[in-house]
Amino acid sequence: MEFIPINYGYFIKSEMKNILKSLKERHNFKSGARDLIKYIGPGLLVTVGFIDPGNWATNLAAGSEFGYALLWVVTLSSIMLIIIQHNVAHLGIVTGLCLSEATNKYLPKSLSRTVIISAMLASISTSLAEILGGAIALQMLFGIPLKIGAAIMMISCTLLLFVNAYKRIERAIIFFVSIIGLSFLYELVLVNVDWVQTVEYSVKPNIPTNSMLIIMSVLGAVVMPHNLFLHSEIIQSREWNLEDATVKKSKLKYEFYDTLLSMVIGWAINSAMIILAASTFFQKNIKVDDLVQAQQLLTPLVGNNSATIFGLALLLAGISSTVTSGIAGASIFSGLFGETYNYKDLHSKLGILLSFIPATLLIFVISDPFKGLIYSQMLLSVQLPITIFTQVYLTSSKKVMGEYVNSRFTTILLLLLGALVTVLNIALLISLIKP
């Protein structure tokens, strides 16, 4: 028998290379996973904005009045949101500027002032819904009159923002949203849902008679202008624009995962609200015109304690979304002065007050709180095209974005989305003035 000599040195060296390569791949995978987990947060914080009392009202109205028919609006809005939020986050990562700062820096002064002032009005409209929702919850839980509850909400959230950076409360806010979302999602297994219609109407556009106001309210409640300013603010505060190109590209990649995950969660929760309202109220021909009625949604889950649990969930949603609305208002107003959000800065504090105080005063004169929530969300959809077209201009400018400028396809897609919202707004106007 002839023995073939083995080069053990070569064999060991080769095996060591394979082992090191395997370890490196595992390390890269684990490192990437850790980076992704560490990155998750900005998108979820933005998600709070469209799981707020305004969304509760519009979703419950949509489901109770039109059944499953308007589920497609949530689907369309969520797809739009993923594209638009992803794009505005890129602006923050690449430039180190939030949307308000970039608007102030790169647009003519007269035009930038118009855009930012309209965004502040949208922020006030958002804060109105958030504060009002919290006030309704305080009324449900403790019998506090609505106006006093609104004042309590405004003062407590202002103090919270004046003494804390949002990073300190980010986890608490995400925790609140998780509790609220899981409650609605879990309850889907406890009620009698027509899943065939649910799937069909989630992707099939349908505009029932007299539904344009609710359609635009749902759209405005999901694709919220202030959230575009908020997302770019949160992203740019991490100063990834100062990193080298490799780091920047990895953050751009992780940002998409964060945005996609967060917006899908928001889509699921908002859809669940409409489905529950359709299954609980529409089937019984009950039109919801008061959030107090909506506590019945939780009856299958918690029985006689449903009013308390619903009120608590609504209060948490109101507090968390009021905080994020205040941050957005501060970011928008600070941008007028070329500044970023800083809870210690005077302009940021003024932005919070300018968002909260007018909203609270408006609550004092609203006769129908539920309609107030609906119309506040509708007004957001009216301002939305202004923000979208401003964002498209900035992210499609090589002067602003450099090598990360939008591709032609992205620019066209964003312009089409802006045009779609504009057309829907015109349809809303026609429906409101039509005899």
- Residue 393, Cα to own-chain centre: how many angstroms? 22
What type of residue is 138? Answer: L
Tokens of 82: 């993923």
Query: What percent of the chain shows pLDDT beyond 90?
Result: 30
Cα–Cα distance for residue pair 12/303, rounded to 1 Å: 68
Q: pTM for this one?
A: 0.79
For the stretch 21-49, what's the b/e string if a residue is b when 16 or more beta carbons lie within 10 angstroms of its beta carbon? eeeeeeeeeeeeeeeeeebebbbbbbbbb
Structure confidence at residue 96 as a pLDDT band (50, 70, 90): confident
CA angle 393, 399, 402 (to 5 degrees): 105
Residue with tokens 């396809």: 409
Cα–Cα distance for residue pair 402/6, rounded to 1 Å: 57
The residue that leads in pLDDT, 7 or 269, is 269
Once rounded to an integer, what is the mean pLDDT over residues 338-359? 92
Q: Give 367-379 pLDDT, tens digit per residue.
A: 888 788 888 888 8
Which residues are CB-neighbours of 115 under 8 A, at least 6 positions away?
103, 107, 386, 387, 390
For the stretch 104-134, what's the b/e string if a residue is b when 16 or more beta carbons lie within 10 angstroms of its beta carbon? bebbeeeebeebbebbbbbbbbbbbbbbbbb
Residue with tokens 């497609």: 72
> Residue 410 CB: number of other CB atoms within 10 A?
17
Structure confidence at residue 24 as a pLDDT band (50, 70, 90): very low
pLDDT score recorded for residue 289: 74
**Among 131, 137, 48, 170, residue whose Cα is nearest residue 315:** 137
**Among 374, 382, 396, 368, residue whose Cα is nearest residue 424:** 382
Contact 89, 232 (CB under 8 A): yes
Q: Give 193-249 pLDDT, tens digit per residue.
A: 899 999 999 999 988 988 888 888 888 777 778 778 887 777 765 554 445 556 566
Residue with tokens 């919202």: 421
Cα–Cα distance for residue pair 202/275, rounded to 1 Å: 10
**Among 79, 6, 42, 49, residue whose Cα is nearest residue 170:** 42
The residue that leads in pLDDT, 113 or 12, is 113
Which sequence spans correspond to the domains of the chain?
Answer: 40-433
Q: Give 373-422 pLDDT, tens digit per residue.
A: 888 888 888 888 999 999 999 999 999 999 889 999 999 999 999 999 88
Structure confidence at residue 23 as a pLDDT band (50, 70, 90): very low
Tokens of 210: 């007299």
Q: Give 129-161 pLDDT, tens digit per residue.
A: 889 989 988 998 899 999 999 999 999 999 988
CA angle 337, 158, 391 (to 5 degrees): 40
Query: What percent of the chain shows pLDDT beyond 70?
Result: 76
Fold that domain 40-433 belongs to in CATH: Amino acid/polyamine transporter I (1.20.1740)
**Among 424, 417, 421, 422, residue whose Cα is nearest residue 395:** 417
Q: Give 294-337 pLDDT, tens digit per residue.
A: 666 666 655 666 667 777 878 887 888 888 889 899 999 999 99
Cα–Cα distance for residue pair 170/288, rounded to 1 Å: 32
Once rounded to an integer, what is the mean pLDDT over residues 80-96? 86
CA angle 420, 225, 245 (to 5 degrees): 95
Cα–Cα distance for residue pair 125/295, rounded to 1 Å: 24
Once rounded to an integer, what is the mean pLDDT over residues 333-355? 91
Once rounded to an integer, what is the mean pLDDT over residues 159-170? 72
Once rounded to an integer, what is the mean pLDDT over residues 252-278? 81
Cα–Cα distance for residue pair 51/48, rounded to 1 Å: 5
